[in-house]
Amino acid sequence: MSAAFDTAPPNTHAGGDDDALRTNGTVPMNDTISHNLDDARVDMDAYARDVPLWKRVHQHSLTQMMLISVQAFCGPAMSDAIAGLGGGGLATPQTSNTAMALLYTMLATVCFLGGPLVNKIGVKWALVIGAMSFPIEGSSYYCNSKYGNQWYLILGGALSGIGTGCWYVAEAGAIMSIAPSGARGKYLAFWIVSRNLGQLVGGAINLSKNYLKDVEGGVTTDTYLAFVIIECLALPFAFLITPLEKVVRSDGTRILVSETLSTKMELKQISRTMTSSLIMLSSIWALWSFFYSGTWSTYLATYFSVRARALSSLISPFFCIVGCFGLGFILDMKHVSQRRRAQIGLFTVIILNAGVYIWSIIMQVRFKTNDPGSIDWDSGLYPTAFLPYFFVQTTGPLSQSYMYWLLSSFATDAQANVRNGAAFRCLEAVGQAIAYGMNTKTTTSPLVGMCVSFALMAAALGPMIVLVNRTPDHIPADVILAEHEKGIDSASIKGPEPSTVPLDGDRKV
């Protein structure tokens, strides 16, 4: 294994031979982005002098990441909070698991086709469409809680999957493109933490409504109204997103955006992306990375009281903040090569997850032998039974943050990030659909899902070692920019100076 890591890194030149660094199709990579290179770096002195402060703040990469993170807080985080209630807070989790399985099935379908869609309509409008669908899930649980109807819960899962799929593809492309190359780990940590802070707020709402002991059945109806209100807040923040080509990073660079392809060419890119070595090698990791969600939510619903679930969903995100930013600092270490950082990050994530899985399996085996009943927070068994759930809410997000950092390490332009993000999200959703589908079976113990999660992680390790060994020393998009700037410097000795970047943020064509 160590020998594999010590082999020479691949060619990091933008036109190199390594297929993980190429568009993997007939579209010439350099031709598709060359028109955008003249606008790739901003004259920051002129930019600060000629552009109003409010516009500079709005176009700044950190502001845009914050806007996306707020949407993640309002949408996916609230969905996680509902799942964190254990079956949506229902007396039994089967109905909720059915709705969630359908949601992720539809999400996977939309993500599969999402690359062409988002690249045609743009990241901003894809985020707007997705944000409009967020309140559907919360309202379906509200109607189920208040009126007892099941059909809207199932329909809501399907509709949410369609809208959220569109949003997920746009989000993945944006978060992998926006960050400056030297701060990707911390930017991604900020995004992951925002999602988990949403679960913290959801847990606080749930606990405030369900703190009395011996409460049976689902959570109060008012809890779901609070979730719906928060989910509605994502839409105005989606309208504030700046198109990727207008974003200015903190290091003065812009995002490389290639020419818009025809619909036919975009559809052809689906198969090329899905069969690229980058996606093939990360596919098992994608299936595994969110698999824990359905299994450990069912674990929580099966063995814990309503108020214990509420407390669990409140305190679970705290350690995630420390863990994600800790991994972010590792991935952003300035004096360590990108390939070595990828290696360290991989084994950090694997070792932490393995420890949590072993602990969880031990607890589950004990519960199968001696049924603990409904564990409350004043039970002596609560700490040891809850801690596996607590830690998996950190180790799970770490695996996602790491993978998006790794995918962005191979980026050639923003459209490639969208396509790669869509493919990875599609496989993630398939894993989640399988996990929730498994847990719709009343006879299925959480032990089965835990063992499957462990097996998937083990199966993912080999291909991931191969992929990490291909990690380029520099992001290909940065190499393209550096080579272009070097060419400009040489040309300026013989000819006139190149045109400056338009200060209004519009790119040249």
CB atoms near residue 501 (< 10 Å): 22
**How far, in Å, are 92, 393, 402 from residue 316 at the CA level?**
22, 6, 20
pLDDT score for 11: 36
Backbone angles phi, psi at 253, to 5 degrees: -100, 155
pLDDT score for 463: 95
57-93 core/surface letters (b: 16 or more CB in 10 A; e: else): ebbbbbbbbbbbbbbbbbbbbbbbbbbbbbbbbbeeb
CA angle in degrees (0–180, nearest 5) for 402-408-414: 145
How far apart, in whole angstroms, are the C-alpha atoms of residue 434 and residue 201? 28
Cβ atoms of 299 and 389 within 8 Å: the answer is yes
What pLDDT tens digit does each residue of the chain (509 aa) get? 444 433 333 333 333 333 333 333 333 333 334 445 555 567 777 878 888 899 889 989 999 999 999 999 898 888 877 765 544 555 455 676 677 778 878 888 888 887 788 888 888 999 999 999 999 988 888 888 788 777 888 888 888 888 988 898 888 888 888 888 778 888 888 888 887 776 677 667 767 766 666 555 456 677 788 888 989 999 999 999 998 888 888 878 888 776 777 777 877 888 888 888 899 999 999 889 888 877 887 788 788 887 887 787 778 777 888 888 899 999 988 888 889 999 999 999 999 999 999 999 998 888 888 888 788 888 888 888 888 888 888 898 899 889 989 988 887 777 888 888 888 888 888 887 787 777 666 455 788 888 888 999 999 999 999 999 998 887 787 777 666 666 644 444 343 333 333 333 333 33
Helix or strand run (H / E) with residue 374: none
pLDDT score for 29: 36
How far apart, in whole angstroms, are the C-alpha atoms of residue 15 and residue 33? 12
Of the candidates 25, 368, 242, the one whose C-alpha atom is nearest the C-alpha of residue 360 is 368
Instruction: Say which amino acid occupies 414.
Output: A
SS (H, E, C) 81-110: HHHHCCHHHCCCCHHHHHHHHHHHHHHHHH
Of the candidates 480, 419, 409, the one whose C-alpha atom is nearest the C-alpha of residue 40 is 480
Cβ atoms of 391 and 349 within 8 Å: the answer is no
pLDDT score for 65: 92
Of the candidates 422, 466, 357, 451, the one whose C-alpha atom is nearest the C-alpha of residue 176 is 422
pLDDT score for 173: 85
How far apart, in whole angstroms, are the C-alpha atoms of residue 218 and residue 301? 11
Listed in sequence order, the residues at least 6 apart from 351 whose beta carbon sits closer than 8 Å to its beta carbon are: none
Task: Output the furthest CA–CA distance in the chain (Å, rounded).
Answer: 82
Cβ atoms of 463 and 285 within 8 Å: the answer is yes
List domains and CATH numbers for the chain: 2-9+16-21+51-247+277-491 (1.20.1250.20)
Backbone angles phi, psi at 60, to 5 degrees: -65, 145
